[in-house]
Structure formats: structure tokens, C-alpha cells
Chain A
Amino acid sequence: MEKKKGWKDVPLGGLIMEAGNADEYETGSWRTFKPVLDQEACNNCLICWIFCPDTSVLIEDEKIVGFDYVHCKGCGICAAECPKKAIEMVLDEEK
């Protein structure tokens, strides 16, 4: 485990000097339910991708290829918004 810095070594006033480092914060551990995609039902409208507050819907060539479970908090907005009911929230048994 990384040794945490002491007060003399952290940036002044809680500033984050490195842009985009929220990526290092693994919010996936907050999740109870995880989104699971039904590829058959999905028409790749990407509404889930638009709505996801954590940019955790993974896209390649304009198609959904899965979810970023390292960051997905399991909020379920993607499932609620999906017009095709192609996303199911299932209990994340691994946790």
C-alpha cells in the first residue's frame, strides 16, 4: 500500500495540482448493484453513456462494450434511462 504523505508534503489548502486524477479514485467499491448489459436488446443509442455521471459506460466504435466497474458506483441511472430495458442492475456478489 502506498504510504500517505504528511501535512508538510501535501499541496496547500487541499489543491489538486494534477488534472484528471479522479481516475485514480476507485469509486467502484461503493457499489451494491452493478449494471449488466443485454447485448441482444441494446440498440447502441448511447443514452446510458450520455447519462452516466461517472463516465463508466465504455464505448468503442460507437458501440457499448461494457462498464468500467472500477469507477461505476452502481447508481442505476443507465438502467433507468435505457429505452430498451437492456441494462439490468444485479446484486454485486463479489463485494
Chain B
Amino acid sequence: MAKTSVPQIKMPLTGNDAGAYAMKQVNPDVVAAYPITPQTELMQEFAQYVHDGDVDTAFITVESEHSAMSACIGAAAAGARTMTATSANGFALMWEVLYIAASLRLPITMAVVNRALSGPINIHCDHSDSMGARDAGWIQMYAENPQEAYDLWLIGIKAAENHDVLLPAMIMYDGFIISHTMEVVETLPDDAVKDYVGPYKPAYAMLLDEKPFTVGPLDFHDYYFEHKRQEIEGMERAPAALAAAAAEYEKLSGRHYGPVETYRADDADVIMVALGSTAGTARYVVDVLRDQGKSVGLMKLRTFRPFPHGEVTDALGKTKCVVVCDRVASFGAFGSPTFMELRSALYEVAERPLVINYIYGLGGRDTGPDLLEQAFEEGLRVARTGEIEQHVSYLGVR
């Protein structure tokens, strides 16, 4: 076990418990949230902390997720450290205001408990909610388990609030699979979290700054583009801010968080790419297949925005076949979002690997080791023959 500068406190927590506990320790100035479904237990637990006086957050319950994000924007523009959470169709109802939070450069942080978008009506896990907002200007990180849900949210706050970045961040974890599953989570002491995130230093604060100014005015063809270019620059600087925040966090926790994480991938002929909880299943399958002498590995993609194209090409550039598993369909596109991004990142690699895509687990369809093994076997066949039969396939659909 790595040496850490503060003691780690082991607690049995679900993903939702871990998220709520991180919020409690951060003790944000304002939380605005929609209190009814599709909101998750996370916010119920945080409301309990508010009720019990464990935090002194101004907790605003609103009539919709559109209003939740709007209230967060108002609070953040006023100069408050602001957090929220949502899921699925609630997330979809936030859509237009997500862009506004990012364009106003307000480092709001939000847990997104990944659940399928209706219709048909469904409440179980897939990534169709957050993947749809991949161009909204938010940092996006996918947690594999409750531990990462806790850790990544803290790292996300630090990176988002970095004045080189000033963009909101969302931390994703899989609905039910992570949100409702209890695991041992190592938490930091309250003081360590408080010191790590530090006092909030807003870039601007309508209620605190002495000179009045206007937030969110009309911005036409003469300057809109310049402001978007600025926003892009904020995202361009996010990798460095995330790396710095993760490095500092590693000293406290002993846990290292890069944008990608590989497992037995260095010499592998076939590397699977997965996000979220499926990475855990894939790691198990890698071990099973390695025991059979098969040359397979895993690359877990943790940070989707900003997309870590350099790390992706470093991790995958020397393999023969990449099997991209995505828990989302992008209708009419050539493959799923991760497939498209990753294949584009690999384009200039000298001997680029063949890339195949599996869409899996929509609407919470269970994706066990047998299905991932099937995908690995196809990857091995492609690596052996050098021929792709089908770029985009489906795992576990009848």
C-alpha cells in the first residue's frame, strides 16, 4: 500500500453514499437540485446532512432540473461554490443550461448517475445521458466504482476551479451498478478534504465584487466566436489542471488517477476500451484469457472530456486490434462516441491498430464476463487475420 500523508478512513459506501459524503466534506455554499425522480438517493442523503446541520450549505429544491442548473448558475455567478447531481431524463432537461454554465465559465460540479434516456421508459444504466452532452463544454470523468466516484469528484472540483480552466465538471458513475452497490471506500479526513479543495476563489462574483458588471448578455457575430474560442482554451488547459489536481490528491490518498488506465496492455495484441463499471468486468476477463495464453489487455478511459488523445495513442498505438465497448448508441453515426474519438486519435499512428466497436448494455442490459469474452475473441480473430468483418456490432442483444 502506498504511503499517504493523511490516514485513510475505510467506510462501506454505495456510489451514492460516496458522492453524498464527498459533498458533505466539501461543504459547498450552494446546492440546487430537483428532489424527485430521476434524482437519486445521493441528493436525499445530502438533504439529510443539511437537515442534521452537518453542512451549512444553502440547499435549494427546485421544480425541474432546468431550474436546478439555472439556480446553480446564478449561485456560482454570485460567487458561491456550487454542486448538484442528476440522472437520465433529468440530465436531459438540463441540456440548454449546461452550455450556459460552461460558457459563463462557472466551475459548478455535478454527479451524473448514468441511466438510460427514455424512450422506451427505462431507469437502468447506460451512458446515453452524459454522452449526449459531450460537447457542452463540461469536463467529463467516468468512475469505475464508489471509490472513484468519491475521489474523482474531489479532483474534479480542484481542476474545474483552477483559474486556467474555469469550466464545470461532471463525474459519472453507473446507475444501480455503482450507485446502489456497497463497497469499502477509503475516505480522507474532513480536514484533509477541506485543505485539498481549499477556500473557494471565484474568478468573478456578482455579490462580492465591488464594481458592478453584467453576466450573460447578448453576444452576437462580433464577439460570440471569440468567447467560444476562450472556452475552448479553458478546455485545452484542463488536462494540465487535472494532472496537477490528481498529483496532489495522490499524495493524500495514494491513489493515482490519470485520464486513462491500462491493465496488462503493454504487450497485448488486443486491447479492450471500456468506461465505468464495465472496466472492472473487463479486467477480470483479461485475467481469465491471459491464463489461457491469450494476448489481451484493457484500457479504461476515465476522462472523456477533454479527450486524452495523446494518452490514448500511447496506450493503443502498438497493439493490433482495439475493441471499443460503449454503453451508448449514436444514431446514424459511424460507431459509438468513444469509437469515433478514439479512431480519430489513432489516425496518425504509423502502424495503427484495427478498431472494432461493440455497443452493449443499453437500458441496463447485464453485461457479464461471457459477453466481454465474446468481444475479446472477435478482437483476437481480427488481430490474427487483419480483417474486420463488421466495424460496429452489438453485445447481448437478441
Contact = CB atoms under 8 A, between A and B. Distances in A.
A13 B229 contact: no
B229 A14 contact: no
Interface stretch (A2-10, A44-52, A63-71, A86-94): A2-10
Majority SS of interface residues in chain B? loop
Interface string B220-259: 0011111101110100000000000000000000000000
Nearest to B226: A7
Contact of B230 (A4, A7, A17): A7
Interface string A1-28: 0001111101011111111000000000
A81 to B, nearest CB: 26
Interface in A26-58: none
Interface size class of B (residues with CB under 8 A): 20 to 34
Given A4-B223, A5-B226, A15 B214 contact: yes
B288 interface: no
A15 B233 contact: no
Given A4-B222, A7-B233, A13 B227 contact: yes
A5 B103 CA distance: 18
A12 B216 contact: no
Contact of B227 (A7, A17, A18): A7
Given A6-B226, A7-B226, A7-B229, A15 B215 contact: yes
Contact of B214 (A4, A6, A16): A16
B279 to A, nearest CB: 35
Contacts of A13: 103-106, 166, 215, 227, 230-231
Given A4-B222, A5-B226, A7-B233, A12 B213 contact: no
A7 B227 CA distance: 6
B166 A12 contact: yes
B212 A19 contact: yes
A30 to B, nearest CB: 12
Interface in B184-205: 203-204
Contacts of A17: 211, 213
Question: What bracket does the count of chain A residues touching chain B fall in?
Answer: 10 to 19
Nearest to A21: B214
A39 B224 CA distance: 43
Nearest to A6: B226
B310 interface: no
A15 B231 CA distance: 13
B201 to A, nearest CB: 14
Q: Which of A5, A8, A13, A18 counts the most B-chain CB atoms under 10 A from its CB?
A: A13
A10 B227 CA distance: 8
A16 B219 CA distance: 10
A50 B253 CA distance: 63
B223 A14 contact: yes
Contacts of B230: 7-8, 10, 12-13
B226 A19 contact: no
Interface of A: 4-8, 10, 12-19
Q: Which 9 A-B pairs have the closest CB atoms?
A: A16-B214, A7-B229, A13-B105, A7-B226, A13-B104, A14-B219, A14-B227, A17-B213, A19-B212
Interface of B: 103-106, 166, 203-204, 211-217, 219, 222-227, 229-231, 233
16 contacts: A5-B223, A7-B225, A7-B230, A8-B230, A12-B166, A12-B230, A13-B103, A13-B105, A13-B230, A14-B224, A14-B227, A15-B215, A16-B213, A16-B214, A17-B213, A18-B213
